[in-house]
Chain A
Amino acid sequence: MEVYYSDILCIGSGVAGLMSSIAAAELNRKICIVSKEPFSWGNTRISGGVIASNQGPSFFDDILKSGEELNSTKLVETLLQESDNIHDTLEDWGHVYQRDGKHKNKIKPGGHTEARTYVSSYKGISLGNILRMRLLKEDNVQVLEETAVCQILVEGNRAYGAMCFNWVKNEWSVIYASQIILASGGGGMLYAPHTDNMRSSTGDSYALALQAGASLVDMEQVQFIPFGIAEPVGMVGIEVGDTAAAGPYGVLTNDNGEVFLDDIPNQTREAVSRKIALQMSGGTADFRNTVWLDPSANTKEVAGRKAWENAKQAGSLEGLKYAYGAKSYKWKEPFKVVPTLHYIMGGVIVDHDGNTTVDGLMAAGEAVGGVHGAGRMGSMSLFEGLVFGRLVGHRAAEKVTGKRDQCVSKLVLQSFIDNYKKSLSNEKGVYSPFKLKDELSSVMWQYAGLIREEKGLRIALDKVIQIERKAQSLNIDWCNSAYRQVILNTIELKSMLVTAKSIIISALKRTESRGSHFRLDYPNESTLGLYNVRVNTSRDEMNAQIVYK
């Protein structure tokens, strides 16, 4: 067992983790940044690299409108106030935006009423690389790659460290830190294969926060962007794009070729995904029909051809070529689409400095809930990650105290690890975490995805509990290094089970339809006023409660 000491522990190396680590390192704090995949290999790297900027009087209103006012206005205000110079800073670090001579190009992704979004020179990978390099320039940084954080160590509501497993080295470790920043992103794999997220997006942020004693908000709000690839099997869920990807003249049709939706780019991701889902289900809770995106009318119009050029530049057409062939790639013939899990709006409750209710535990990025309410506009996640990453990094650096809060003997730490292993799987059995993950994600897709109702959500909860039981008897050998990925996936399965439960009980609690959350049995917005759904864990029991705004 390795033991590390740091001022600040940052969990996650996507945009929020990198940005907060850079910010804290600039204030001369010692940083330990932990990444479950290779360093800086998160969703940031595979994103489109489009980043909003604080421009125009309508920005605040646009955010709240897309979020159907479930947003925390305090967090949205903070986001705008703290966004000064964010793009200048990135450019100073060497980030390059697409531009037309002197001016950076601006686009208008789904939800925005004006063009205020900049486009990175080469998608998310260019942003990921610039942030990775900028952090590596700092001296006081320790990078622990390919290392999963299993538990936050807490004593009397004070977080003081984390237990980790390096799956490549097959080695357990403990990191002590004065401040811990949770920036381990979202959980698209809860709906696999219907997700465009990285393999590593297994809801770790939410599970770790609950385990540490923090609370979650509006976990039922999970965003499916409307256009994912529907076949072949290995490509299901790969992103085609959001509403803009239909082009101004694209239409959605059913199996009989009848148009059921047009003017797509002027609608939110939430609205289009919901209409596709209802078409797929014929108004029931089961998917039985196919939906086609027919973009062919774009090829006859100037604005339509320009939209194709934009999509080509963004790289989002290549998946179409590979899955469906050249005609679909050129928008000359319709292709099958299915909504795909893109982002979780719900998440950890923090104050405007990024503090959770657990002393020493902070959060930033997709881990956090409340900024986007019930629906997120395009290009807002990188923007949020940059702005809150920087803010939380600064605040964490200010809060670091000289004295070491907790130190536990190695013997005790070893007993923590042994107990943790037992909590994952307490008897040798036959089940594989890979199979149970698949079982879980198909339950979530079927019963807790785009179309929900009480009956289905109750079935989902039962099934999650059944999978939890099976997960207690896995085919796992802690001492055989050939099981390194089995152990990693067991840790992830645990996060996914906790997160799945939090989504299901929140979806049961919200007896209305709002934003990304659609209840077949409550198809309208509640008339009783706006409320958030809050999830806590007390004595190993997870509870959801309504908090009126």
Chain B
Amino acid sequence: MAFLTLSIKRKTDHLNEQVAYQVDARDGETTLLNALQKIQTEQDPTLAIRYGCRFKDCGLCAVKVNGKEKMACLTKVKNDMLVEPLDNVPVVQDLVVERSYITDTIIEKGLIPDTKSGETTHVSEEYKAVNKCTDCQVCLSASTLYSHENRDAIAGPMFFVKLAQIYYHPQLSTNYEQKIKDLGINHYKNSEVIPCPYGVPINKLAIAPFLTEE
């Protein structure tokens, strides 16, 4: 058996520290998600992790690996990895961060398409691109401009993408101008490039089109 070591940032009501685990896998042999599952099943059932589909589609298993945001299912496990929860979103336990505020934000900011009825004839590439968003929260964690506490005033990139899903909809009928203000997108005027594991060009399609002169 070949072992590799993973360090996991743990946080529970009784614990707040990095814990090292040995996993019986070789470098690159399996996914990081699978290694985390193994630790939960075989070593410590109280290690909290979040996942759904095990490969790419659901967006639930985002974590930080050696300081960078990754989907655990799309990352091959390597020795000495440091695994931490996402930044900028409250930690529920260990690697699990909160999500239910997403539903609240959609309602509060009115990020709900209101489209003209009838059949669509042309679907733009931009519309297809922004629909790849899985709500994985990587963009929120990676952005230096986002803060969970201030999210009422400035909502964060993931929600700009939701506005873009409305904006690029082939049968757009919503007045999105007010929503741009409500989301505080102008705050992101000079934002660094925001990463997306699903390839949504956030700066180009979900920020730039909404910037206004002040």
Binding site for B on A (CB under 8 A): 37-39, 41, 45-46, 91-94, 96-99, 101-102, 121-126, 129-130, 132-134, 136-137, 143, 145-146, 168, 193, 196, 198-200, 232-235, 237-238, 318-319, 322, 432-435, 438, 475, 480-486, 489
Contacts and interface: CB of A to CB of B under 8 A. Distances in A.
Interface size class of B (residues with CB under 8 A): 35 or more
B152 interface: no
B121 A122 contact: no
A319 B13 contact: no
A125 B59 CA distance: 10
Contacts of A237: 54
Contacts of B34: 233-234
Given A137-B112, A234-B31, A91 B103 contact: no
Contacts of A235: 30-31, 54-55
Given A129-B131, A132-B106, A434-B45, 17 more contacts: A41-B52, A94-B113, A94-B169, A98-B123, A99-B123, A121-B128, A122-B131, A129-B165, A130-B113, A133-B106, A168-B100, A193-B54, A233-B30, A234-B37, A237-B54, A319-B55, A485-B40
A486 B52 contact: no
Interface in B88-139: 92-93, 96, 98-100, 102-103, 106-107, 111-115, 117-121, 123, 127-128, 131-132, 134-135
Nearest to B117: A92
Interface of B: 12-15, 29-31, 33-35, 37, 40-42, 45-46, 48-49, 51-58, 60, 73-74, 92-93, 96, 98-100, 102-103, 106-107, 111-115, 117-121, 123, 127-128, 131-132, 134-135, 165, 169-171
A234 B37 CA distance: 9
Nearest to B169: A94
- Best-buried of B55, B120, B127, B128 by chain A (most CB within 10 Å): B55
Nearest to B112: A133
A483 B14 CA distance: 12
Contact of A482 (B14, B74, B118, B134): B14
A436 B6 CA distance: 24
A482 B115 contact: no
Contact of B60 (A38, A101, A193, A319): A38
A121 B92 contact: no
Contact of A168 (B92, B112, B117, B123): B92
B106 A145 contact: no
A481 to B, nearest CB: 5
Nearest to B99: A38
B184 to A, nearest CB: 21
Contacts of B112: 133-134, 136-137
28 contacts: A37-B52, A38-B135, A39-B100, A41-B52, A41-B60, A45-B57, A91-B119, A92-B117, A96-B127, A102-B121, A121-B131, A122-B131, A125-B57, A125-B132, A125-B134, A134-B112, A136-B112, A232-B30, A234-B31, A234-B54, A322-B55, A482-B12, A482-B14, A482-B46, A484-B92, A485-B45, A485-B49, A486-B45
